[in-house]
């Protein structure tokens, strides 16, 4: 157990629907990062939050949004889902250079 908790582990939904992915960072970590990994691809940075505020944005679609709550957990909302949104979605926390990010086990989203 890395200390970063992601739920659900698996999600199957239909095109056009909306889903929410949840992440609880490791205790003491203020930063949360969201990444998308499509089949056999690298990790694409989506968005970063630090202590409740958006810190950096990557190639996140307008259909996607995120927030970080006062208890530091974060949610990634994906709407108007398309087949191409099927991917692994990872959350990570931490980010001290010499200890790196700690990743959660991911949410596997399948859009049918």
Partner 1 sequence: GQSLEQPSEVTAVEGAIVQINCTYQTSGFYGLSWYQQHDGGAPTFLSYNALDGLEETGRFSSFLSRSDSYGYLLLQELQMKDSASYFCAVRRGNQGGKLIFGQGTELSVKP
Kindly state the smallest distance separating residue 17's Cβ from partner 1, in Å.
23
Kindly state the smallest distance separating residue 49's Cβ from partner 1, in Å.
11
Q: DSSP letter at 95?
A: E
Interface size with partner 1, residues (CB under 8 A): 32
Q: Which of 25, 89, 106, 111 binds partner 1 (CB under 8 A)?
A: 106
Nearest to 35 by CA among 81, 86, 92, 78: 92
Kindly state the smallest distance separating residue 105's Cβ from partner 1, in Å.
5
Name residues whose C-beta falls within 8 Å of residue 61's C-beta, 6 or more positions apart in sequence: none
């Amino acid at each position: 157990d890395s200390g970063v908790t992601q739920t659900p582990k698996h999600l199957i939904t239909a095109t056009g629907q909306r889903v929410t992915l949840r992440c609880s960072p490791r205790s003491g970590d203020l930063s949360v990062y969201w990444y998308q990994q499509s089949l056999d691809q690298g990790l694409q940075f989506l968005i970063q939050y630090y202590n409740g505020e958006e810190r950096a944005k990557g190639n996140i679609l307008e259909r996607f949004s995120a927030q970080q709550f006062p208890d530091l957990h974060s949610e990634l909302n994906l709407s108007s889902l398309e087949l191409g949104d099927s991917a692994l979605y990872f959350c990570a926390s931490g980010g001290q250079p010499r200890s790196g990010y700690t990743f959660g086990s991911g949410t596997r989203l399948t859009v049918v």
